[in-house]
Structure 1
Amino acid sequence: MSDIKNGIHHQEQPGAPPAYSAPITTQPGFSQPAAFHSSNTTVVVQAPQAPQTVPTRPKQRTWSTDIFGCFSDMTSCIAVTLCPHFYLFYLSQKLGESCLLPLAMPDCTALVPLRTKIRAENNITGSICEDCCMVCLCSCCVMCQLSREQDYITMNNQQNSSKL
């Protein structure tokens, strides 16, 4: 059977859906009551919260000893002077890193991440640029300073834990 609507030839086939049907506005099998009214009101219920405090960063401090404070720790000074590469393996392990770190980085460049790590973990003033400059200026002095700083941190942590 064929039908012509609006100048277009439509052919109906048995069992086929009609050529045009109205859009479905309700869920199939669900009819809305006649008095149903839609509303766009949204109710949000929120429990009262305790005031939150913003965590503050502890005040930054300086290094416990100066970069040229080698004479306050002659043992490190002599060890670094006589065997700087071996001391760097020892220092890496002392600072909680792999003793193989110096093998992964050429020359004394392993000192830059070590110095940055100690500075960041202990809230010491400075920058990565400053860390690089110090390593380039005198890597032996940096190794001694890092060793002294780690000793200082360990000593303070032991004192603080004994007070508790």
Structure 2
Amino acid sequence: MYSSQPNTYEKYSDGQPVSSDSAATGVPYDPSLSQPSAFSIDKPKPRVPWTTGLFDCFSDMKTCCITCWCPCITFGQIAEIVDKGGSSCGASGALYTLIACVIGCPCFYSCFYRSKMRQQYMLEESFCGDCMIHCLCEGCALCQEHRELQNRGYDMSIGWHGNVERRNKEAMMGRPVVEGSMSR
């Protein structure tokens, strides 16, 4: 039902006027509520803890040694998975090495990937922040991120595209195979 006043677009719902904002958007609005009634705003999802601690570096000696001697490899693997194949392991590792050689602090680059990873997997932030963790203990931070991705089912040695192919094969093997066509 519409208002009897000319040139007015106020709609009435159950005899109650609805805000002029709803006439513009088409979304019913109840002034007693602070949010439009047509939308349900979900509460933010709770953050989950990391599967391993920051100083659990020695639980995976292979990754620990690689990260100690050549952190660009570990970082490249992390960056490829976090970027979902948007950057290659080699390119990310090379950029990490270039930043390390030019300014001496690759942590300013790698900390952004820690933040991006935390956002993707809803991981808890440490009390001192991502950048500070990478500045104070770069190797431990990279090892923790590497272990987190492994614990989430990624095979870090085959990269993003290899993991996608592996998961597609596993999904195809789980489906029933229909042989031939139906006949009478």
After TM superposition, the structure 1 = structure 2 runs for residues 39-50 of structure 1, keeping only pairs within 5 Å, are 42-45=8-11, 49=28
Query: CA, structure 1 residues 114+42, in 2 after alignment: closer, same or farther (shift >3 Å)?
Result: same
Shift of 1:62: 1.5
Runs of 4+ in 1 over 6 A off after TM superposition: none
Structure 2, unpaired ranges of 5+: 12-22, 29-36, 155-166, 172-184
Change (3 A) 1:104 1:57: farther
Partner of 2:57 in structure 1?
70
Match of 1:52 in 2: 39
**Matched position secondary structure for 1:154:** coil
Bigger CA radius of gyration: 1
Quick check: 1:70–1:141 contact (8 Å CA) kept in 2?
yes
Give the 3 Å change call, closer, same or farther, for CA 84–104 of structure 1 in structure 2.
closer
Post-superposition Cα deviations, 1:62-99, rounded to whole Å, max 9, x if no partner, equal 21111101122222111112222333233322332523
Identity %: 24
From the superposition, tell whether residues 71 and 51 of structure 1 become closer, same or farther in structure 2 (CA, over 3 Å): same
The counterpart of 1:91, out of the listed 78, 99, 119, is 78
Greater relative contact order (CA < 8 Å, ≥ 6 in sequence): 1
What's the counterpart of residue 61 of structure 1? 48
Q: TM-score, normalised by structure 1?
A: 0.59
Change (3 A) 1:130 1:43: closer
RMSD: 3.2
1:2-151 matches, within 5 Å, as 42-45=8-11, 49=28, 51-96=38-83, 98=87, 99=89, 100-101=91-92, 102=96, 105-106=99-100, 107-109=105-107, 110-126=109-125, 130-151=129-150
Residue pair 2:114, 2:145 contacting (<8 A) in 1 also: yes
User: Are the aligned partners of 2:78 and 2:146 in contact in 1 as well (CA < 8 Å)?
Assistant: yes
Q: Which amino acid aligns with 2:106?
A: C
Relative to structure 2, which stretch is displaced further, 114-123 or 85-94?
85-94
**Partner SS, residue 142 of structure 2:** helix
Structure 2 CA distance for partners of 1:153 and 1:41, relative to 1, 3 Å: same
Unpaired runs of 5+ in structure 1? 1-38
Q: Which residue of 1 aligns with 2:16?
A: none
Structure with a larger share of its residues in helix: 2
